[in-house]
Amino acid sequence: MAELFDLTGRVALVVGTGGLGRAMALALAGAGADIAAVDGEPGRSEQVAEEVRGRGRRAVAMCLDINDRQNVYSLVRETVSTFGKIDVLLNSAGINVMAPALEATPEQWHQVIDHFLTSVFWCCQAAGKEMVRARKGSIINVASMSGLVVTGNQGSSYCAAKAGVIQLSRALATEWAPYGVRVNSISPGVMRTRLTEHFLSDPAGLKDTLARIPLGRVGEPEDLMGTAVFLASDASSYITGHNLVVDGGYTAW
């Protein structure tokens, strides 16, 4: 059974190495994968790369603005140049931009859509070309339960972007299935990260949130580790076009 989850000899390109991305990158490395870590914040991808190397795997770090299509293609070229291939693409980059719909500016709208949806498409397109050529690969796009249910009154652009990621993943899954490339998405629930600490530090808000989660706790980045390895590995070889919700039961109500 263990061999189904073994990623030895595979290369994973992880875009976004903050809380969730870091945990999943380390999980993939723990399963045997070499990692190309990408982040827009200086030093963060290198920190993850060092942790990966500490686990005995090869790693390269890149700091790039993924909203630039040319940058996206350059990071894919760098990954292939370093490792010779890309077996797994994990899109997990995030920002924290919220505004009520009546007050959102064009700049805020485009910032959220570009970062959470458009950049995901460019990453899928660039890595997908390599995978289609190789006739194998697994793409994992981090969406959100906010792409399925409304979770607040200031996230209309975020909800739209994440719903787009879910449907984009399904569309790419059907388009690239003949080439052996699988595309799935993960929809996390409320996760404890740097981007949510301001919200979770409010006792009243936390109490209300916990009341909506059947498992009775907020998710941790480590709760996505097994999910990432599963979707990247042969254990999910017959799964594509699926959105795997990891939310402690929030959307089950």
**Does residue 238 carry a catalytic annotation?**
no
DSSP string computed for the chain = -GGGG--TT-EEEEE--SHHHHHHHHHHHHTT-EEEEEESSTTHHHHHHHHHHHTT--EEEEE--TTSHHHHHHHHHHHHHHHS--SEEEE---------TTT--HHHHHHHHIIIIIHHHHHHHHHHHHHHHHT-EEEEEE--GGGTS---SS-HHHHHHHHHHHHHHHHHHHHHGGGTEEEEEEEE-SB-STTTHHHHT-HHHHHHHHHT-TT-S-B-GGGGHHHHHHHHSGGGTT--S-EEEESTTGGG-
Candidates 73, 158, 179, 238; catalytic one: 158
Q: What does residue 38 show for φ and ψ, rounded to 5 degrees?
A: -125, 135
Q: Which of 123, 116, 11 is nearest to 58 (CA)?
A: 11
Q: Which of 244, 194, 186 is nearest to 17 (CA)?
A: 194
Catalytic residues: 158
